[in-house]
Structure 1
C-alpha cells in the first residue's frame, strides 16, 4: 500500500511551487504552469511542517537564489523503467552544464532514442531537482519544457548558461 502523500505550496522567484512527498521521499515538484488544483491534489494532505517538505522548500528556494548547486533529497519518481532511467541520468548533469537529448540518450545506452528521451523529460515529476531544464537541442536550441520555455531559460541563466536560441513551434492556419 502506498504511503499517504503530503504537500506544501509556496511562492518562489519563478512563481508558485508545490512539492509532494510520501513519508520518506519527495515524489513530485509542480511548477507554476501546472494545475495546482487537480483532482489528485484533493487526496493529498497539506503538511508544510514535515521535515522532508521543509527541506524540499528550503533547497528549492536556495537553488532559485543561486545558493545551492546540488540537491540532497530522497527521491521517489514514479514512471516506466525507461522514464526512470532517463530521470536517474539527469542527476549526472551538473549545475552550469547542458546535455543534448542525443547525449542523454547515449548516456542511458539508447543512442537512437532522442525523441523518447524528450518524451520522458516532459513527464519528469521532479523538475528542477532532476534537472530536465539542462537538456537542450543538439543545435543549442531551447526546446520543450513542462514549465514553459521562459522558466527553462530563467533556470539556465541562473546557472550561468546562455542558450544560443529558442526553438519555437510553427503555427499554421
Structure 2
C-alpha cells in the first residue's frame, strides 16, 4: 500500500490551491471553488517541504513568467484518460484546442465527448492545462474551477477565447 500523500496550499490570484503528492511527484491540484473544489483526503498529512518547487512554479505561472511546468508528476487514470492528460500538456501556452481537436490528436477523432469527460477528471489542472480546451464553436465550456476561473487563466495567458459571449470578468 502506498504511503499517504502530503499536501499544502499555494496562494494564487484565484484563491488557495491545494497541492498534494509524495516526495517524488506532484499528484493532485485542487481549486478553492467550483465543482473541482476539494480538501485533503483522510490520512493525508500537511507538509510544505515536498512542494517548494511546485509552489515556485505556480507562483511564476500566475506572475506571467512561466509558460510550461517542469515538475515530476504522477497521475493514474484509464489508458484513455492518461492519453488525454498527456495531450493537454502539449497545448501551447496562450492557445486553445477544441475537444474534437484533442480527440483527433490522440487518434480517437469520434471521442470528443469522452475527451471532455477525461478532461473533467484531470487531477492536475493548470499544470495539465485543461482550461485550454474549449467547445468546437469557440465558446467556453465546463471547467472544474468554474468558468470565471477558466476565463481568468485564458486571459492570463493572453487568450480571449469565448470573451465576447462569456461576459465573464477577471477574478
Aligned to 1:154: 152
- Secondary structure at the aligned position of 2:55 is classed as helix
Which structure 1 segments of 5+ residues have no match?
168-173
Aligned to 2:38: 35
CA distance in 1, matches of 2:98, 2:16: 28
Contact 1:143 1:166 in 2 (8 A): no
CA distance in 2, matches of 1:35, 1:5: 15
CA distance in 1, matches of 2:84, 2:166: 23
CA distance in 1, matches of 2:105, 2:166: 24
CA distance in 1, matches of 2:112, 2:68: 25
Which structure 2 segments of 5+ residues have no match?
none
Task: Report how far residue 163 of structure 1 moved.
Answer: 1.5
Q: CA RMSD in A?
A: 1.4
- The Cα offsets for residues 27-70 of structure 1, whole Å up to 9 and x where unpaired, read as 00011111225xx2x311111022xx111111111101111101
Alignment pair present for 1:163 and 2:166: no
- Secondary structure at the aligned position of 1:152 is classed as helix
- Secondary structure at the aligned position of 1:20 is classed as strand
- The Cα offsets for residues 112-171 of structure 1, whole Å up to 9 and x where unpaired, read as 00000000011100000000000001111000000000000000000000023339xxxx
CA distance in 2, matches of 1:9, 1:103: 33
Q: Hey, which of these two has a bigger chunk of strand by percent? A: 1
Number of corresponding residues: 162
- Relative to the length of structure 2, the TM-score reads 0.91
Aligned residue among 90, 93, 97 for 1:92:
90
Contact 1:4 1:23 in 2 (8 A): no
Aligned to 1:74: 72
CA distance in 1, matches of 2:123, 2:110: 24
Aligned to 1:3: 3
Task: Report how far residue 10 of structure 1 moved.
Answer: 2.8
Contact 1:9 1:18 in 2 (8 A): yes
Aligned to 2:46: 46
